[in-house]
Structure 1
């Protein structure tokens, strides 16, 4: 039991910690100290749903339908490109990057949902990879593995979102926000290119 939980935590962290669209957004909201709880909750709960789906074996179903994966990949790449362009446009106007111009909670929640559910890598990593890894622990052990992966997800997103707020003093200057937005845009474009290259 304990071995399965630890294995799930380590596997979950290995897949979640890598920089991606979702993590970049959580980081940005954490630095801005803006609706962090909403973003963390959406990312963590979404991960838990996907982990459960993987442990249940939904990953095998998705893997058997390459056309569905290709459609999801195209939609995800398009959204990443749009988000990257939006970040570049935001970087051109530093006055909009300060804490005096907060983003509506609904818009932040919608972006968090889109960056999570329109990202094919989330399905490949969480549903397919973790789902397949869980089978090595048997019918009962796979749920303990899933529990470990779920705990890792909650700890990661909570830590990333709230710890980023500690660095907010360095982001008091608009120039620093510009650099962050440009970096996020480049990450989005790179991820979109990788998705398109892998699917088409």
Structure 2
């Protein structure tokens, strides 16, 4: 029975994390343009923030975010600015050569960017709380732990697989393909940033 709930959590986790979003776009772009060591660090740090977000949603932190208007506004403001900046940077970047860049990029910078694309979206926290919190309410305590464990395993499996596959095959991409990928990833991230900014403007109007 425990394995059944772990599997259910795993399948839910894949469905939850697989659709292209800010996290996936950032991991894909990193895997293409950076060294494998930086790509692995990015994947692991993204996994950490993704799992902590899932745990927060599962145990209802989104409830407190809904109650604290000031906290929500701060996250919306900082999040929209940072996400829009990352998106525009990707859109404007033009790859000259198929080579790894900024190989010695610091853990602090990688962590900050992973944090931004994962946690700086209060809507994701609230939606995740409704989804994961709703599932948790249907499970008894000892069973719910196995479900969220499966969700965490899905996050680990997905981001490690995604980053590894893209990193291994990146040499097959020419400059034109890289440019297209930059544009797609950049627009996806930019769209999230604009949506955050729009939510903030609507809130104050």
- TM (norm. structure 1) is 0.84
The answer for the alignment partner of 1:162 in structure 2 is: 164
The answer for the alignment partner of 1:124 in structure 2 is: 126
The answer to whether structure 1 residue 16 and structure 2 residue 14 are counterparts is no
**Unpaired stretches in structure 1, ≥5 consecutive residues:** none
1:16–1:136 distance in 2 versus 1, CA, 3 Å: same
Task: State the shift of 1:112 in Å.
Answer: 2.2
| Alpha-carbon distance in structure 2 between the residues aligned to 1:36 and 1:100 | 10
SS across alignment from 1:102: coil
| Alpha-carbon distance in structure 2 between the residues aligned to 1:192 and 1:28 | 17
**Unpaired stretches in structure 2, ≥5 consecutive residues:** none
Say what the alpha-carbon RMSD is for the aligned residues. 2.3
The answer for the alignment partner of 1:187 in structure 2 is: 188
The answer on whether the counterparts of 2:42 and 2:111 sit within 8 Å (CA) in structure 1 is: yes
Count residues in correspondence. 196
The answer to whether structure 1 residue 79 and structure 2 residue 82 are counterparts is yes
The answer for the alignment partner of 1:56 in structure 2 is: 59
Task: State the shift of 1:139 in Å.
Answer: 1.6
Would you identify which runs of 4 or more consecutive aligned residues in structure 1 move more than 4 Å? 125-128
- Between 47-56 and 153-162, report the one with greater CA deviation: 47-56
5 Å-filtered alignment, 1:12-51, equals 12-32=13-33, 34=35, 35-51=38-54
- TM (norm. structure 2) is 0.82
